[in-house]
Amino acid sequence: MKLNFLLVSFVLSFSLTMAILPSFSRIAEADPWRLCILQSARHKALDEVNRGVKQYFRDEMISADFLVKIGPGDTISDSAIPKILQEISDYDPHLIIPVGTQAAQFASTHLATIPAVFSAVTDPVGSGLVGSLQEPGKMMTGLTDMSPVLAQLNMIRMVQPELNVLGIVFSEFEQNAVMIRDHLKSACDSMGIRLVEAPVKQGGSVTTSAMNIIHDIEALYIPTDNTIVSGIEELAKLYSRHNIPLYAADPSSVGKGAIAALSIDYFQMGIQTGAMSVRVLKGEDPANIPVEQPLEMTISINVKTAGAIALRLPMDLILAADKIHDGISDDLP
């Protein structure tokens, strides 16, 4: 009897194992998700989002292939569109991940039938990507990288408690830059700080605009504005000579002469984008997923720049800093 019981148990166990194996085999052999990352331009912040998205899938051990297309940062020419669309069509992605406003607008216009999760878009509503942040209403949702201007202003006030007048240089032809200006103006009004504006026209001189307000302000704020950031080293030298602190929203600007930056952690934003992407891949309707804001911030400071203008950084800020620079790419005069 004991032998017969063991034999029956073995047969049942073998049969059950054989029944389960095919399902495990199907899981192991399942095709990976096909994801198309459309990146507006080669830019450090956008590159970090790209890297974070891929890292999320690796960390979660989710099988995925990526087709990555990186654009020039402006409108793609009409002649190039058919080739790009054909390549994406041949790839047949399950999901589009546009990184940057221009890429997201391209996906919204030309790839509207494919679900999309955008990232690093400053103004999703104003850019025409979603109906509202809470109810996107389309095949697209994602993350906004609107600068945390109130938190940035609080950091500036931590360094300069008596600050009364703040300047901003921004591209008046860039929708995102104008929106940041508007948010900063509102934050300044709430804190009793006067905001002095130095708009830059298309093709205009960033340095000239910054120089026009240099005698009227106590500190200068540089937004995430590619046109302005491209001239950050020259601005840092100019303002250092006048002993005026320069603060940035872009962390890379701190290594080029800005005093400090409180900014979005774009790599962690990519991780967050990856997590949202999986929700859509698993069947959630992007039209019903609210647009998210980044959960992680980072603080960068430059002690050499502060020392050059005899500005004492608070110890609390130094201890909170994620990155401390003690030099810049081109020494201040």
Q: What does the chain come to in residues? A: 333
Domain that holds residue 314: 149-264+297-325
pLDDT digits (tens, 9 = 90+) for 16-41: 444 444 433 333 446 899 999 999 88
* pLDDT reported for residue 131: 96
* pLDDT reported for residue 9: 45
pLDDT cut 70: percent of the chain above it = 87
* Residue 4 falls inside a structural domain: no
* Residue 11 falls inside a structural domain: no
The residue ranking higher by pLDDT, 183 or 78, is 183
**137 shares its domain with 280:** yes
**259 shares its domain with 271:** no
> Cα-atom radius of gyration of the chain, to the nearest Å?
25
* pLDDT reported for residue 230: 86
**235 shares its domain with 247:** yes
Q: Is 208 exposed, middle or buried (0-12, 13-18, 19+ CB in 10 A)?
A: exposed
Its pTM stands at 0.78
CA distance 148 to 13: 59
Q: Are 214 and 244 in contact (CB under 8 A)?
A: yes
How many domains does the chain divide into?
Answer: 2
pLDDT digits (tens, 9 = 90+) for 212-237: 999 999 999 999 887 898 889 999 99
* Residue 16 falls inside a structural domain: no
pLDDT digits (tens, 9 = 90+) for 189-198: 999 999 999 9
* Residue 75 falls inside a structural domain: yes
pLDDT digits (tens, 9 = 90+) for 111-121: 999 999 999 99
pLDDT digits (tens, 9 = 90+) for 33-91: 999 999 988 888 899 999 999 999 999 999 999 999 987 655 566 777 888 899 999 99
Segment 279-287 mean pLDDT? 97
* Residue 200 falls inside a structural domain: yes
Asked whether the predicted pLDDT for residue 286 surpasses 80, the reply is yes
CATH of residue 114's domain is 3.40.50.2300
Which of 261, 274, 251, 247 lies closest to 59, judged by CA? 274
Which of 217, 242, 231 lies closest to 156, judged by CA? 217
**168 shares its domain with 310:** yes
**112 shares its domain with 227:** no
| Residue 97 pLDDT grade (very low, low, confident, very high; cuts 50, 70, 90) | very high
**49 shares its domain with 186:** no
* Residue 132 falls inside a structural domain: yes
The string of DSSP letters for 124-149 reads TTTTTS-S-SS---SSEEEEE----H
pLDDT digits (tens, 9 = 90+) for 2-18: 444 444 444 444 444 44
**317 shares its domain with 184:** yes
Mean pLDDT of the chain: 88
**177 shares its domain with 321:** yes
CA distance 220 to 240: 11
* Residue 27 falls inside a structural domain: no
**129 shares its domain with 193:** no
* pLDDT reported for residue 25: 34
